[in-house]
């Protein structure tokens, strides 16, 4: 199975949202089936075959996730991030401001789904091939 160290090595090559499709391909090669990214502290839970699960520690002190979700604000943040105009930390901050509690990446389906605090889907994106 995969390790947090392998995932960190793959993630270290991601500079902006433009690098995300290549990162997902690397995750697929490692055996990651899906992961959940929690915006409030940046911790991530990774899932593999046979109920394998590991968790990466929090990346930052708690940030407030807006109570009111704004899919429009999230879509704008995604657009500029995917164009390479913002880095990961800025995108995470903007996600919190848009009311994103977490996102789930389903590598088998090549989908990234953003959820608000109430568990509602805000945006569902197809992950492009690199």
User: What confidence tens digit (pLDDT) does each residue in 11-40 have?
Assistant: 888 776 778 888 899 999 999 999 999 999
Pairing between β-strand 100-106 and β-strand 53-56 as defined by DSSP bridges:
unpaired
Q: CA distances (Å), 62 to each of 12, 18, 128, in order?
A: 22, 26, 31
Q: CA–CA separation, 78 vs 86, rounded Å?
A: 9
Instruction: For residue 86, give the DSSP letter.
Output: S
Question: Which of 94-98, 108-112, 125-129 comes out lowest in average pLDDT?
Answer: 125-129
Say if residues 123 and 75 touch (Cβ distance below 8 Å): yes
pLDDT band for 65, please (50, 70, 90 cuts).
very high
Domains and CATH numbers, the chain: 4-49+58-126 (3.30.1810.10)
Q: What percent helix, strand, coil does the chain show, rounded to 5?
A: 35, 25, 40
Q: Whole-model pTM above 0.85?
A: yes
């Amino acid at each position: 199975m995969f390790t947090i160290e392998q995932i960190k090595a793959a993630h270290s090559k991601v500079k902006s949202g433009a690098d995300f499709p290549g990162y997902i391909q690397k995750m697929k090669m490692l055996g990651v089936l899906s992961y959940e990214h929690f915006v409030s502290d940046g911790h991530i839970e990774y899932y593999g075959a046979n109920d394998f699960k590991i968790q990466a520690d929090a990346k930052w002190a708690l940030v407030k996730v807006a109570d009111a979700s704004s899919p429009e604000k999230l879509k704008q943040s995604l657009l500029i991030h995917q164009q390479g105009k913002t880095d990961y930390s800025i995108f995470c901050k903007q996600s919190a401001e848009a009311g994103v509690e977490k996102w789930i990446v389903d590598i088998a389906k090549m989908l990234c789904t953003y959820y608000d605090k109430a568990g509602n889907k805000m945006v569902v994106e197809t992950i492009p091939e690199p």
